[in-house]
Amino acid sequence: MTASSLAGQVTRGVRLSLLGLLCFSGLGVIAFLIYLMSGAGVQTIRADLSFHVACDDPDAAIIDEKAEAFFRQRGFVVLNKAEAARKLQQPVLLPRDTLAIDAQSREATLIQIPFGNRSISMSLRTPPPTRRNEALEADLLSLADSTLGCRVHQVTRGKNGPERRRFHDDLIKTDMRLFRKFGGR
């Protein structure tokens, strides 16, 4: 065997290895593109109403109490996830994290991001397709503005089509498991 024939075999082996690698990589890219285009990996749903509120004292427990009372008066069951985690001595990621769900599968949230952020985010989502409850939306904005003494800003309204109903129902089921686990009232 000569040096040139050995070099030819090595070159062919490298070419075959590169060709195999390219084919394998190409199949991976094609599979990834099919996954992305199918929409299977991306599920989104918009809140009917979402907004931020800036509060002078966002750490006050009175905000949680008033918000929870507001939701209960309107037939929602309420879970203060941050408080439940503290009671179970689990890590608390958000200083304020309240979830409320009613018999109509409407879901409201109130969260506060940590790290000196004085802003609280609130949202309301109804089962798709979106059917606005203008009175409830106005009451929620009023809760933040007048009852809690906070300033409302960045109000957005979203819509969901009927194709989002199954995803919404899956989210509600997941959240109801949290209620069973942590004992929401």
Count CB atoms within 10 A of the CB of residue 39.
Answer: 10
54 with 15, same domain: the answer is no
Do 70 and 20 lie in a common domain? no
Q: Which domain holds residue 67?
A: 49-182
> Does residue 12 share a domain with residue 82?
no
In the chain, DSSP assigns E strands to 49-54, 77-80, 96-101, 107-112, 119-125, 151-157
The answer on 148 and 125 residing in a single domain is: yes
What digits encode the pLDDT tens for the residues 147-170?
777 889 999 999 999 999 999 999
For residues 24 and 64, membership in a common domain is answered with no
State how far the Cα of 19 lies from the Cα of 15, in Å rounded to an integer: 6
Q: Clarify whether residues 65 and 137 are in a common domain.
A: yes
Residues 73 and 154 both lie in one domain:
yes
Give 50's strand partners. 123, 156
Residue 16 and residue 58 in one domain? no
DSSP type of residue 181? H
**Shared-domain flag, residues 31 and 77:** no
* Cα distances (angstroms) measured from residue 83 to each of 32, 64, 168, 183: 40, 10, 25, 11
Condensed to tens digits (0 to 9), the pLDDT of residues 83-103 reads 888 888 888 888 888 999 999
**Same structural domain, 37 and 54:** no
Give the integer Cα–Cα distance in Å for 79 and 71: 10
Count structural domains, the chain. Answer: 2
Nearest to 92 by CA among 109, 80, 108: 80
Verify that 53 and 13 share a domain, yes or no. Answer: no
Find the CATH number of the domain harbouring 76. 3.30.160.110
The C-alpha atoms of residue 119 and residue 23 are separated, in whole angstroms, by 51
- How confident is the model at residue 166, as a pLDDT? 94
